[in-house]
Amino acid sequence: MQSTPSIKQYNIALIGCGNMGAAHLDNIYTKDNVAIHCVCDTDYERAQAFARKYHAKAYETDYKKVIAMPEVDIVIIATYPSSHLDIVKECIKHGKHILCEKPIAQDLKTGQEIVKLIQDHPECKVLVGYILRHNKTYQHVARMIQEGAIGKPIVMRMSQNHHTMDWGKYLNLINETSPIVDCGVHYLDVMRWFTGAEITDISGIGLKTEADVPRGKYNYGLITVRLSDGSIAYYEAGWGNTIASDNLKEFIGPKGRIRITYQMSRQFNQEEGDLIEYYTYPEGKYETININCKRKPTDDQLQELIDMIEQDKESSPTLEDVMKSFEWVLKADEKIKSKL
Q: Say which CATH number the domain at 61 has.
A: 3.40.50.720
CATH of the domain at 214: 3.30.360.10
Residue 1 above 50 pLDDT?
no
Q: Is the dihedral of CA 312, 315, 318, 322 positive or negative?
A: negative
For residue 322, being part of any structural domain is answered with: no
Whether 279 and 148 map to the same domain: the answer is: yes
The pLDDT-based confidence of 59 (bands split at 50, 70, 90) is very high
Tens digit of each residue's pLDDT (9 = 90 or more) over 186-222: 999 999 999 999 999 999 999 999 999 999 999 999 9
The pLDDT-based confidence of 6 (bands split at 50, 70, 90) is confident
Whether 38 and 88 map to the same domain: the answer is: yes
Whether 98 and 163 map to the same domain: the answer is: no
For residue 213, being part of any structural domain is answered with: yes
Q: Confirm if 127 and 304 have CB atoms less than 8 A apart.
A: yes
Q: What is the pLDDT of residue 3?
A: 52
Please, is 268 exposed, middle or buried when counting C-beta atoms within 10 Å of its C-beta (0-12, 13-18, 19+)? exposed
Whether 281 and 168 map to the same domain: the answer is: yes
What does the pLDDT average to over 62-88?
99
Whether 275 and 166 map to the same domain: the answer is: yes
Tens digit of each residue's pLDDT (9 = 90 or more) over 111-140: 999 999 999 999 999 999 999 999 999 999
For residue 308, being part of any structural domain is answered with: no
Number of CB atoms found within 10 A of residue 3's CB: 5
Domain count, the chain: 2
Boundary (domain end) residue, out of 98, 124, 150: 124
Whether 152 and 214 map to the same domain: the answer is: yes
Whether 86 and 175 map to the same domain: the answer is: no
Q: Confirm if 285 and 279 have CB atoms less than 8 A apart.
A: yes
For residue 310, being part of any structural domain is answered with: no
For residue 306, being part of any structural domain is answered with: no
**Quick one: which of 66, 63, 74, 10 has its CA closest to 38?**
66
For residue 313, being part of any structural domain is answered with: no
Question: 222 in helix, strand or coil?
Answer: strand
For residue 150, being part of any structural domain is answered with: yes
CA 242 to CA 179: how far, in whole Å? 15
**pTM of the complete model:** 0.95
State the alpha helices, DSSP H only, in the chain.
19-28, 44-54, 63-67, 84-93, 108-120, 136-146, 167-176, 179-195, 298-311, 319-338
For residue 311, being part of any structural domain is answered with: no
Whether 143 and 254 map to the same domain: the answer is: yes
CA 276 to CA 135: how far, in whole Å? 13
Whether 139 and 274 map to the same domain: the answer is: yes
* Cβ-Cβ contacts under 8 Å for 324 (sequence gap 6 or more): 188, 189, 192, 198, 199
Boundary (domain end) residue, out of 124, 144, 160: 124
Boundary (domain end) residue, out of 79, 106, 124: 124
Whether 115 and 154 map to the same domain: the answer is: no
* Mean pLDDT computed over every residue of the chain: 97
The pLDDT-based confidence of 168 (bands split at 50, 70, 90) is very high
Provide the residue count of the chain.
Answer: 340
Q: Confirm if 97 and 151 have CB atoms less than 8 A apart.
A: no
CA 86 to CA 99: how far, in whole Å? 14
The domain in which residue 181 lies consists of 133-297+327-338
Whether 140 and 51 map to the same domain: the answer is: no
Whether 112 and 228 map to the same domain: the answer is: no
